[in-house]
Amino acid sequence: MGSATKILLVIVGLAVLLGLFAVSSYNGLVGLQQATDAQWAQVQNVYQRRTDLVPNLVSTVAGAANFEKSTLIAVTDARASVGRVQLPAGAAPTDPAQLAAFEQAQGQLGSALSRLLVVSERYPDIKATAGFRDLQAQLEGTENRIAVERGRFNDVVQAYDTAIRRFPAALFAGMMGFTSRPYFSATPGSDTPPKVQFDFSATPAPAKP
């Protein structure tokens, strides 16, 4: 076997090895990308669960005499704002501005719901209803799930973003459509679900003349 043939075989062997390595790297990135999309779906599910609780929660407290109408309006407006956020279908956002808009809208809804529950403490009759207690429990559980799923999403995005920046994947990731994904922001206390405490001894707000 001539030296030229040996060199050719070495080149072919290296090409095959590089090809196999590239395929393995590509498949790994696909798996990580799919993991981010799957976890994003989980995030959307828990947020949607909270959104779905709003109509029943509002209707439960709306019948109370002199209940703060501005609080109910804030909740319904915040819920509507969530529905107006445009996101890509079936995949985690790649645009940080899109995720920021989604997070801001969800944050406004969470704040409005917290305000509604705080105001509801003034109405013991509302707290005494089984329907409200059930909604309270569902909302608390949903807030816990939101915190958990957001954390998991950030974890899988970190793994994916790290992989596409490592050599040699960094050489072809962009050309293959593997772009970085943004994280949920880590605001102070965001890792702790909001505590909802009720004072059953509170007295209702006095009726306005």
- Per-residue pLDDT band at 19 (split at 50, 70, 90): low
16-20, 21-25, 73-77, 92-96: least confidently modelled range: 16-20
Identify the pLDDT of residue 21.
Answer: 65
* pLDDT digits 0-9 by tens, 94-150: 999 999 999 999 999 999 999 998 888 888 888 778 888 899 899 999 999 999 999
Identify the pLDDT of residue 27.
Answer: 86
* pLDDT digits 0-9 by tens, 20-72: 666 767 888 999 999 999 999 999 999 999 999 999 999 888 877 678 889 99
Identify the pLDDT of residue 205.
Answer: 44
Identify the pLDDT of residue 20.
Answer: 64
Helix (H, G, I), strand (E, B) or coil at 139: helix
Identify the pLDDT of residue 203.
Answer: 41
CA distance 113 to 136: 11
H-helix or E-strand containing 159? helix 130-165
Which residues are within 8 A (CB) of 85 and not within 5 positions of it... i.e. 6 or more apart? 98, 101, 102, 105
Angle between helices 3-62 and 69-84 (to 10 degrees): 160
70-77 contacts: CB < 8 A, separation 24 or more?
A: 71/112, 71/115, 71/116, 71/119, 72/116, 74/112, 74/115, 74/116, 75/109, 75/112, 75/113, 75/115, 75/116, 77/112
Which residues are within 8 A (CB) of 56 and not within 5 positions of it... i.e. 6 or more apart? 131, 135
CA distance 32 to 76: 37
Identify the pLDDT of residue 190.
Answer: 43
CA distance 24 to 172: 13
CB 37 within 8 A of CB 90: yes
Helix (H, G, I), strand (E, B) or coil at 79: helix
CA distance 148 to 183: 14
Query: If we measure between CA atoms, which residue out of 95, 108, 87 comes closest to residue 44?
Result: 87
| Bigger pLDDT: 79 vs 186 | 79
| Bigger pLDDT: 175 vs 113 | 113
- Per-residue pLDDT band at 207 (split at 50, 70, 90): very low
